[in-house]
């Protein structure tokens, strides 16, 4: 007797024998029982999951001598002819070889004739997506209103290639890939019936390699029976299919967790030296890491990850040692590398690079750790003056306003550079030695005297603006100066103030440059913004932004001052002749230049400052 391969011998003959497609078989059985069978069906899904087999079972159920029935007898002439593939009334057509308009026209003419001996004339067209567009158009009318004795069953792995006009005329069933657990159980039933000795590890290896295809799993088992002598073991499956042993996946995962780059590269080299397919190894490794992720999130079922009980135990151990944030990062990194490998001629270098990045990821601090460090730092800075840290115990404190304390490092370096470049100015008279101070005229503000040359006396880095507020800091000598004089001084140094602010926060400078200092009242400098620059004004109201402006102004003036930002409505906007031209007006004039306008549009840029 001629040998029949397992994939054909174990093809399902009843709806209940179809593995993993209960949502489809239940619907079809109910439709038959309630006499609601449609005239056209479309079965979609990946290879080897039962699309054509389901169509054949449905054809038997409709043409069975005892039918229509949801359990065909497999004994009547109609059933046996369909199983043998020689039924005159059930025609299986290959869409790839009968894809032209002439073949479809011939089919359209033949549907007019009644079935030879069965209840229905049924056309099963496999890989229907390969039919040409013109052929589909020729089939539309027949498919929409076929004769009562005609049924169309279509099968395809690529439903998106089927025209929507065809899809709308069919009842569509999407068959899914078969799970690893279902494949393992079905392989066990086949092995028991065929008296094949196979261990659990081998069944799981076959199921993983089949990737949801029952036909692939049965074909691999058939091949292994010829390859192996005696019991089919996991080692024999790995040897025949060129897979990587699970022990190797464990070793390289161990090297990844430990950050052992040398050990990991040695394992990758050994895999390549054995002639293994590196892309297949990398795919298996990603699947193994996914199992570790499932052990962290699902907690329990080894069948969900497609592993044996022994393998699941090892995976759960890795899950307890692998930080979740790091595991997510590694999986994201590896899946991106796998996508790049499809377009690369050197997959090995991509695997090695991905491993090295993943191994070093253990040295990186997680986002949670960084946020905690920032929170502790803000609490420390917020509590520098001895008061409680804002925000409470559980909340994150707001950003503290930079008042007292040390200035940023760049400010200290800037002062040191200026001190070396400029000869030291005359020393001030300490406030303790001052004899008397003239009375301040009304409207004047007391500030320390800046030294000659328009530059404030240099102080060491620790003598930052705001240090005068500390009890131990030396007080500065005050001088009577009218608000108009101070405002004039601010306007003189305004460009320098903008530059110093831009050294720390360039975006803050782009906001501040839109404003104009207009008044100095009671120690507070008022900076006005036009109505259309309200956003920039609001951005400067942030405590950190406002504190930086105050600090830079204090350094240039030699003492602390207040700052107030306000918006000028167009109706109330002053346009006095004595008002100085602000940097904002220079920018507006510059924007009128056609070349500048083209550059701004091309780079989607904005003018921050004007240098001459």
Residue 428 domain flag = no
Q: Are 271 and 278 in contact (CB under 8 A)?
A: yes
Residues 458 and 538 in one domain: yes
Which bin fits 420, alpha (ψ -120 to 50), beta or left (φ > 0)? alpha
Residues 36 and 161 in one domain: yes
List the structure tokens of 336. 């991106």
Q: Are 250 and 314 in contact (CB under 8 A)?
A: yes
Residues 498 and 611 in one domain: no
Residue 394 domain flag = no
Q: From the CB of residue 507, how many other CB atoms can be counted at a distance below 10 Å?
A: 12
Residues 234 and 319 in one domain: no
Residues 6+ apart with CB under 8 A from 539: 508, 511, 545
Q: How many domains is the chain partitioned into structurally?
A: 5
Residues 263 and 311 in one domain: yes
Query: What pLDDT score does 551 carry?
Result: 86
With 0-12 / 13-18 / 19 or more C-beta atoms within 10 angstroms meaning exposed / middle / buried, residue 445 is buried
Q: Are 187 and 217 in contact (CB under 8 A)?
A: yes
Query: What pLDDT score does 591 carry?
Result: 73
Residues 234 and 128 in one domain: no
Helix 483-504 to helix 583-590 angle (10° resolution) is 60
Look at the pTM and tell me if it is higher than 0.85: no
Q: Looking up tokens 């001895």, which residue turns up?
A: 386
Q: Are 329 and 361 in contact (CB under 8 A)?
A: yes
Sign of CA dihedral 544, 547, 552, 555: negative
Residue 379 domain flag = no
Residue 27 domain flag = yes
Residue 426 domain flag = no
Residue 155 domain flag = yes
Report CA 404 to chain centroid distance, whole Å.
42
Residue 254 domain flag = yes
Report CA 537 to chain centroid distance, whole Å.
35
| Cα separation values, 415 from 365, 431, 462, 494, 548, Å | 35, 23, 11, 18, 16
Residues 409 and 558 in one domain: yes
Nearest 10 degrees: Cα torsion 192, 195, 198, 203: -40
Q: Are 464 and 404 in contact (CB under 8 A)?
A: yes
Q: What is the CATH number of the domain that holds 124?
A: 3.40.50.300
Q: What is the CATH number of the domain that holds 527?
A: 3.30.300.180
Residues 200 and 137 in one domain: no
Residues 272 and 198 in one domain: no
Give the Cα separation of 520 and 518 in Å (integer): 7
- The size of the chain, in residues, is 612
Residues 269 and 293 in one domain: yes
Query: What pLDDT score does 183 carry?
Result: 93
Residues 283 and 186 in one domain: no
Give the Cα separation of 25 and 449 in Å (integer): 94
Query: What pLDDT score does 163 carry?
Result: 93
Residues 236 and 281 in one domain: no
Query: What pLDDT score does 604 carry?
Result: 66
Helix 261-273 to helix 278-297 angle (10° resolution) is 130
**Average pLDDT, 10 consecutive residues per value, the chain (612 residues):** 87 93 94 93 94 94 90 91 90 86 87 89 92 89 90 94 92 93 92 91 89 93 88 88 87 90 93 88 90 79 65 83 87 92 89 92 71 79 50 44 42 42 43 40 43 41 38 37 76 87 84 86 85 83 86 81 82 46 65 76 71 62
Residue 71 domain flag = yes
Q: What is the CATH number of the domain that holds 218?
A: 1.10.8.60
- Which DSSP state fits 160? G
Give the Cα separation of 252 and 310 in Å (integer): 18
Q: What is the DSSP string of 298-323?
A: T-S-HHHHT--HHHHHHHHHHHHHS-
Query: What pLDDT score does 395 carry?
Result: 43
- 516-521: strand order across its sheet: 516-521, 524-530, 562-568
Give the Cα separation of 284 and 303 in Å (integer): 16
Last residue of a domain, one of 174, 197, 225: 174
Residues 6+ apart with CB under 8 A from 601: none
Range of the domain at 156: 6-174
Q: Where are the alpha helices (DSSP H) in 101-213?
A: 101-110, 133-144, 164-167, 180-194, 200-210
């Amino acid at each position: 007797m001629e040998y029949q391969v397992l994939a054909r011998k174990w093809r399902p003959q009843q709806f209940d024998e179809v593995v993993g497609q209960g949502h489809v078989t239940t619907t079809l059985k109910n439709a038959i029982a309630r006499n609601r069978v449609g005239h056209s069906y479309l079965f979609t899904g990946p290879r080897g999951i039962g699309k054509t087999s389901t169509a054949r079972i449905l054809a038997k159920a409709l043409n069975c001598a005892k039918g229509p029935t949801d359990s065909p007898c497999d004994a009547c002439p109609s059933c046996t002819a369909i199983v043998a593939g020689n039924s005159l009334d059930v025609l299986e057509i290959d869409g790839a070889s009968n894809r032209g308009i002439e073949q479809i026209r011939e089919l359209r003419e033949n549907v007019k004739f009644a079935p030879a001996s069965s209840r229905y004339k049924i056309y099963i067209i496999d890989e229907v997506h390969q039919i040409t567009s013109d052929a589909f158009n020729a089939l539309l009318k027949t498919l929409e209103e076929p004769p009562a004795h005609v049924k169309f069953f279509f099968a395809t792995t690529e439903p998106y290639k089927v025209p929507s006009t065809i899809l709308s005329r069919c009842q569509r069933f999407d068959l899914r890939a078969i799970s690893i657990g279902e494949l393992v159980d079905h392989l066990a039933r086949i092995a028991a019936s065929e008296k094949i000795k196979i261990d659990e590890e081998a069944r799981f290896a076959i199921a993983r390699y089949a990737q949801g295809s029952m036909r692939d799993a049965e074909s691999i088992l058939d091949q292994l029976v010829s390859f192996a002598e005696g019991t089919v073991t996991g080692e024999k499956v790995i040897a025949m299919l060129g897979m990587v042993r699970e022990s190797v996946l464990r070793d390289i995962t161990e090297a990844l967790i430990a950050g052992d780059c040398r050990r990991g590269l040695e394992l990758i080299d050994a895999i390549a030296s054995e002639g293994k397919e590196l892309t297949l190894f990398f795919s298996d490794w990603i699947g193994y890491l996914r199992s570790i992720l499932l052990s962290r999130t699902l907690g329990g079922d080894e069948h969900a990850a497609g592993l044996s009980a022994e393998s699941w135990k090892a995976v759960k151990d890795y899950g307890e040692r692998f930080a979740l944030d790091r595991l997510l990062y590694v999986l994201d990194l590896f899946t991106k590398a796998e996508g790049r490998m499809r377009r690369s001629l050197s997959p090995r270098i991509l695997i090695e690079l991905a491993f090295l990045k993943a191994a070093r990821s253990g040295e990186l601090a997680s986002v949670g750790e960084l946020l905690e460090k920032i929170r502790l730092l803000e609490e420390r800075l917020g509590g520098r003056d001895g008061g409680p840290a804002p925000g409470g115990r559980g909340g994150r404190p707001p950003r503290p306003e930079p008042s007292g304390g040390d200035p940023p490092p760049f400010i200290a370096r800037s002062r040191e550079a200026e001190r070396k470049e400029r000869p030291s100015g005359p020393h001030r008279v300490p406030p303790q030695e001052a004899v008397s101070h003239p009375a301040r005229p009304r409207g004047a503000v007391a500030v320390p005297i800046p030294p000659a040359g328009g530059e404030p006396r240099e102080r060491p880095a620790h003598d930052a603006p705001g240090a005068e507020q500390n009890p131990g800091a030396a007080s500065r000598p005050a001088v009577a100066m009218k608000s108009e004089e101070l405002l004039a001084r601010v306007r003189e140094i305004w460009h320098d103030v903008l530059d110093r602010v831009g050294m720390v926060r360039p975006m803050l400078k782009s906001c501040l440059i839109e404003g104009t200092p207009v008044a100095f009242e009671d120690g507070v400098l008022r900076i006005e913004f036009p109505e259309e620059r309200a956003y920039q004004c609001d951005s400067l109201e942030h405590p950190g932004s406002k504190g930086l402006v105050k600090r830079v102004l204090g350094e240039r003036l030699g003492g602390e001052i207040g700052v107030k930002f306000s918006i000028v409505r167009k109706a109330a906007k002053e346009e006095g002749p004595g008002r100085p031209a602000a940097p904002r007006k220079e920018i507006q004039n510059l924007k009128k230049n056609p070349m500048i306008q083209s550059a701004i549009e091309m780079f989607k840029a904005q003018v921050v400052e004007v240098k001459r």
